[in-house]
Amino acid sequence: MNFDSIGFAAFCILAIVVLNFARSYRARILAITTLNLIFLGTFFATPLAAVPFAVFVVCGFVAVRSAYCVSGRGLAGILALTVLAFAWMKQYSLIDFLPSLPFAFVTVGVSYLFFRIVHLAVDVHQQAIKAPTFIEYLSYTLCFLTFVSGPVQRYGDFEQQLRTPLKIQTPIVLHHALSRVIWGFFLVGVVSHITMWAFSRIEPVVYANMAEEIVSARVAGIFAAAAMAFFVHLYISFSGYMHIVIGTGKLCGINIPENFSRPYACKNFLEFWTRWNITVSEWFKFYIFNPLLKQLSIRWPKKNKAALIGSIAFFVTFMLMGIWHGTTWVYVVYGAMLGLGVVVNKKYQLRAAARLGKQGYKDLCSRPWYVALCRATTLSYVAVALTCMWMTPSHAHLFATPASLFVMVAAFAFLISAVFSVAYFGYWAGKLSRKIHVPIEQTLAIFSLEPWLAPCWTAVKMSIVFVMINVAGGAAPEFIYKAF
């Protein structure tokens, strides 16, 4: 089911109506589980294609229920089997020696389902939450709002919202939620077309230059343009999808956590991951980084090992995050780039603070040119690292030559200078806008709509967006995170 399709919009309307009429906890659990299964069924062409997925779901429930009564080693065994089953389902090349099924099966949403199963198993084992019943398990793990590409909502928050009596939403809240859904459809169905069109025109040129091993400023500029175009496209499509599901969830009476917080405003690589795909970053923090850091600290308790321990924990965490994104060796490279980025970032912060002193480093970090430079370096590095997500398997070898590596480094430097110029100009433009913000706000207040006109304006915006989607091509480019 495409996210900008009439079918998906109709399904969302059906879900909103059903969940607003289901008032009790049992009725809402039953309603959301039924909606989940209907939504899930749209991805399976044949019943046979659903069998491996169904087996994974059932085994996940057994793992969650078993986690309560096992020891720590027992939990480790359960998690290891879950990881192995997930890797086999996704057909990771690292375990391609294992036998595969002789028929095609669907794996959409499996990566986020894996996150939820591990979260439930660990928290049930630690008695942080009560083990869910099977229908509660299905309502949470297969929730149609977050099934395909997140966000990864905590089970406790999800259950509490279903147990809380549904309140009648105010017109302002409803208008805001619906406006957000419309904005999401606009980003996914219109803007992502434009960004994908730009990227698709540059990508073949990059491959051609890499094949001929051409090294020049023009080639570096083309590669930089392709990397940034894909980065922008990924952000537009991903954040647009989040607007749709968060707004729809609000209309259904379910508050879904935010997954983005102006990632382009980050000041360093570490901060970027607190703003981009936030719920996944937090999952890796709670279930990978924190336990690993704790175990390493127990193994090496000396204070002079703290920096090394932190670097290892950061690198392993981000390495696994990169590998989670795909099944081939290219994503190992992506994970290594993420790990290297966060380790260098942390090392630099510690060295700079030691050299300049805490106050000196704080003063440096407050200077506009330095903030712009850090922001430019972070966003440029992320854009280059994301190359691993758009290069096709047949072209991957072209990026491993010395000439190609030189071009990528030059493109990285080119991007830093370009993004720095934009970021530094944006700082002064923002400072100026804050001075004239109040007069502009007072002027625009004259044209504000009366409350009774807001629904009419919302309907007009919705009509305009769907017309623009049809003009743009009728369907958005395939959402890359849907593959997870």
pLDDT tens per residue, range 94-134: 777 778 888 778 888 899 999 999 999 999 999 999 999 99
**Cα gap 398→326, rounded to integer Å:** 19
Q: To which H or E segment does residue 8 belong?
A: helix 6-21
Res 10: pLDDT: 85
pLDDT-based confidence at 471, cuts 50/70/90?
A: low
334 CB-side CA count, 13 A: 22
Tens digit of each residue's pLDDT (9 = 90 or more) over 47-65: 888 899 999 999 999 999 9
Q: What are phi and psi of 2, to 5 degrees?
A: -75, 145
Contact 278, 257 (CB under 8 A): yes
pLDDT of 88 > 60? The answer is: yes
Q: H/E element holding 460?
A: helix 454-472
What would the pLDDT profile of 287-307 be if each residue is shown by its tens digit?
A: 999 999 998 888 888 777 788
Lowest mean pLDDT among 149-153, 379-383, 409-413: 149-153
User: So what's the pLDDT on residue 344?
Assistant: 93
* The pLDDT of residue 171: 74
Give first-to-last CA distance, the chain, whole Å: 15
User: For the chain, what is the mean pLDDT?
Assistant: 85
Contact 384, 408 (CB under 8 A): yes
**Residue 138 pLDDT > 80, yes or no?**
yes
Q: How many angstroms separate the CA atoms of 324 and 405, rounded?
A: 24
Kindly state the average pLDDT of the residues 469-476.
53
pLDDT tens-digit series, residues 433-453 = 555 554 544 444 444 444 445
Convert the pLDDT of each residue in 11-39 to its tens digit.
888 998 898 888 888 999 999 999 999 99
Q: What is the mean pLDDT of residues 306-323?
A: 90
Least confident of 3-17, 50-64, 68-82, 180-194: 3-17
CA distance 327 to 439: 53
Write down the domain spans for the chain: 6-166, 172-462
Q: Which residue has the higher pLDDT, 84 or 434?
A: 84
Quick check: 120 and 132 in contact, CB under 8 A? yes
Choice between 427 and 145, residue whose per-residue pLDDT is larger:
145
CA distance 471 to 467: 6
pLDDT of residue 33: 94
User: Which residue has tokens 């993004």?
Assistant: 419
Q: Are 445 and 413 in contact (CB under 8 A)?
A: no
pLDDT confidence band for 457 (50 / 70 / 90)? low
Predicted pLDDT of residue 229: 94
The yes-or-no verdict on residue 43 having pLDDT over 80 is: yes
Q: What is the pLDDT of residues 102-112, one digit of tens each?
A: 877 888 889 99
- In this structure, the number of other CB atoms found within 10 A of the CB of residue 7 comes to 10
d(CA 451, CA 463): 20
Give, as one character, the DSSP assignment of residue 276.
Answer: B
pLDDT above 90: percentage of residues in the chain: 46
Q: How far is CA 5 from CA 12, 241, 315, 477, 478, in A?
A: 11, 12, 40, 12, 12
pLDDT of residue 472: 52
Report cis status (omega within 30 of 0) of the bond before 165: no
Residue 307: the pLDDT is 81
> Which H/E stretch holds residue 151?
none
Return the higher-pLDDT residue of 455 and 137. 137
- Alpha-carbon radius of gyration of the chain: 24
Two tokens, residue 49: 């294609």
Contacts of 217 (CB under 8 A, 6+ apart): 410, 414
List, in sequence order, every residue forming a beta bridge with 276; answer none if it has no partner: 260
Alpha-carbon distance values, 32 to 55, 149, 255, 423 (Å): 21, 18, 14, 44
- Tokens 């980003």 belong to 187
Overall residue count recorded for the chain in this entry: 484
Task: Provide the pLDDT confidence category of residue 467 given band limits of 50, 70 and 90.
Answer: low
pLDDT in the model for residue 445:
46
For the chain, percent of residues with pLDDT exceeding 70: 87
pLDDT at residue 441, rounded to an integer? 45
What separation in angstroms does the CA of 275 have from each of 75, 268, 339, 376, 393? 31, 11, 17, 16, 30
- Which pLDDT score, from 0 to 100, does residue 463 have? 58
Pick the range with the lowest mean pLDDT from 191-195, 231-235, 297-301, 424-428.
424-428
d(CA 108, CA 142): 11
Give the single-character DSSP code of 260: B
Side chain identity at 447, as an amino acid letter? F
